[in-house]
Amino acid sequence: MKDFMDFSGALDGEDPTISQGADSFTTGTDYNGDGIMDGEAVYEDLNGDGVFDTITASVDTNGDGIVDFVSVYQDTNGDGFTDYSATLMDVDTNGDGIADSVFFGEDANGDTVFETTQIMDAEEWAMFTGSPDSGYVPVDEGGGFDAGYEQFNPAETDMSQVVGTPVADEQCWDYQGENGPCAIYAQVMAYEGMTGQDIDPQQMIDVATEQGWYDDGTSMEDMDKILNYLGAETEKSFGGDMEDLHNCLENGGRIVVAVDGNEIWYGNTETYAPNDPNHAVEVIGIDYSSPEPMVIINDSGTMDGHAITVPASQFMDAWEDSGYYYVEAYA
């Protein structure tokens, strides 16, 4: 079995080893073989087990001193093989010799084939990263979302202190793409978690469009329509609280909430104004094992957004902007 470093294909035979206590290692790299360093490779131990599990390779391909190509390789399950990779690359779409867009490709299952590809102009790139001034950012940080985002790990918690079924429900997570309908994805994920059925989100988008439940957005009033269409029973209300979420999950239900996505993604209530309910996520669990409860969500709006843990206080701040609006669903 090849080790993760060789398998990634990003290191040109380099095989750095992690020193005791180190969690990152950076090397200058001559990617084109001209004797001049034109990039760097950053090796990181993100889970703290003493083994590098993430490599970020940044390259200046045209020698102008500006990075124009970034690839990230990750071994997320520790088996020694790359099982996630993503690439960002400047592209010239009009042939004038000037890069005017960014290509993004994502291989989410490690089969070396991009399942997701996008070409974004400057405006679309700013939306994708969440900041009009953004340059390249590590793809493993969710395309610009808060690097503090952490996924629920059942091996690192007391499962008797967890309500809901986050381990099973995270398997139902799906990425909505650049401007996908988050409320429809949240409803589909909730229904799949309840029933085990595999639902095509695009078919539900078509249904919602035809029925007038989706028109470049979903109103809070219509955040249960796809669940009802699929046969789930729902109740929706303003003024929810943690106890409402707990009771629904404890009774086998699933929850879709309207939040200010910026407060979920960035955890900063002042920088990203206005504070509006602009996003929908599925709540799949609550972990009470730490001093502050952690709300576990499936977020279709960010790459690798399955079973993300959000501190209860941060979640409540984001949820407050919708008047604590939620939909609880039962099969």
Q: What separation, in Å, do the N-terminal and C-terminal C-alpha atoms of the chain show?
A: 44
The 10s digit of each residue's pLDDT in 120-157 is 776 666 666 554 444 433 333 333 333 346 889 999 99
Task: Give the number of other CB atoms < 10 A from CB of residue 161.
Answer: 12
The 10s digit of each residue's pLDDT in 165-183 is 999 999 999 988 756 799 9
Domain with CATH 3.90.70.10 in the chain: 150-330
- 70 or 37, which is more confident: 70
Least confident of 92-96, 188-192, 246-250, 273-277: 273-277
Query: For the whole model, what pTM was predicted?
Result: 0.58
- Look at residue 15 and tell me whether its pLDDT is greater than 70: no
Note every long-range contact of 243-249, with CB atoms under 8 Å and residues 24 or more positions apart, other chains counting.
244/326, 244/328, 245/283, 245/286, 245/295, 245/326, 246/163, 246/286, 248/328, 249/163, 249/164, 249/283, 249/284, 249/285, 249/286
Q: How confident is the model at residue 212 (pLDDT cuts 50, 70, 90)?
A: very high
- 9 or 218, which is more confident: 218
- 237 or 128, which is more confident: 237
Residue 249 is encoded by which pair of tokens?
């999950």
> How far is Cα 178 from Cα 233, in angstroms, rounded to an integer?
30
Q: Write out the H or E segment, with its range, that includes residue 168.
A: helix 166-169
Q: How confident is the model at residue 84 (pLDDT cuts 50, 70, 90)?
A: confident
CATH number of 150-330: 3.90.70.10
